[in-house]
Amino acid sequence: MKKHLYTLTLTSALLLGAADKAQAAGNFGVGLGLFNGSTEYKDIDTEVYVLPVLMYEGENFSISPTRAEYHVQFNSNMWASAIGALRLQGYQAEDNTTFKGMDDRDIGVDLGASVNYYSQEIGFVSVEWLTDISDQSEGNEFSAIWAFPIEGQALTITPSVFWRWQSEDLITYYYGVKQKEATATRAAYTAESASTFGGALSFDYKLTDSVILFSEISAYSLDDEVKNSPLVDNDKDFGYGASVGFIYRF
């Protein structure tokens, strides 16, 4: 199974897992989505994936497709969250000739925490820290996001922007080349830490009291520490993601 950047964007993950926290409704939802996203790695074709969507939002606990969170409320607008998340990055050596002779880079499991704020005037603001606990990258990630839901009677439009910093260990694990993996056409490479800026625009339409249609488009920058990797198409400056689907809430 190929495991490139088949993740929801940071915006999707945070909004599904936390943006409704201000309402704390407590509900369970299942659905289906089409997901598409670019990959930085060489010679990997972009594909569309049909994936199930599972989510739960309770007073103190939430689950979204790639993460689970436990919330501690400070007041009506502010809360902290303990986070467990999957990092769906990586590749297998057999994926294509770019990775021939490389060790596999596997899915990671992160633990972390966030501090979150939501108000109708300011929108949603979150700062987050994650660290790998699966003995894969052993790296860290810090991120910040601002999102502003614009709510209509049935349609909610949410523009957002985010910044993400990833440590040297994390970037080197997924984009580095070990000395033993180096060849005449693939030099050894050790990366430094990297930063990413991006934005997204999501749409949620309440078709019925139970059925929600969702879609999102996003774009993000690529740091030179990623682009300089011999595994990466260095003529790419940006990546993108897109999704569309539905959720049935019980």
Region 194-209: mean pLDDT is: 95
Residue 20's pLDDT is 46
Can you name the residues that pair with 119 across neighbouring β-strands? 123
Global pTM value: 0.86
Instruction: Tell me the pLDDT tens digit for each residue of 1-16.
Output: 333 333 344 444 444 4
Each residue of 146-183: pLDDT tens digit? 999 999 999 999 999 999 999 999 999 999 999 999 99
Give 152's contacts (C-beta < 8 A, 6+ positions apart).
none
d(CA 165, CA 154): 35
**What pLDDT does 59 receive?**
82
Q: Is the pLDDT of residue 138 over 60?
A: yes
Q: Which residues contact 104 (CB under 8 A, 6 or more apart)?
A: 90, 91, 92, 93
Alpha helix stretches (DSSP H) within 58-158: none
Q: What is the pLDDT of residues 27-84, one digit of tens each?
A: 889 999 999 888 889 887 777 888 888 888 888 999 888 899 999 999 999 999 999 9
- 117 sits in the region (left: phi over 0; alpha: psi -120 to 50; else beta) called beta
What is the pLDDT at residue 10? 43
d(CA 90, CA 15): 24
Q: Domain map of the chain by residue range?
A: 10-249
Q: Residue 9: what pLDDT?
A: 43
Q: Does domain 10-249 have CATH number 1.10.150?
A: no
- pLDDT exceeding 90 applies to what percent of the chain? 67
According to DSSP, the residues that pair with 207 across neighbouring strands are none
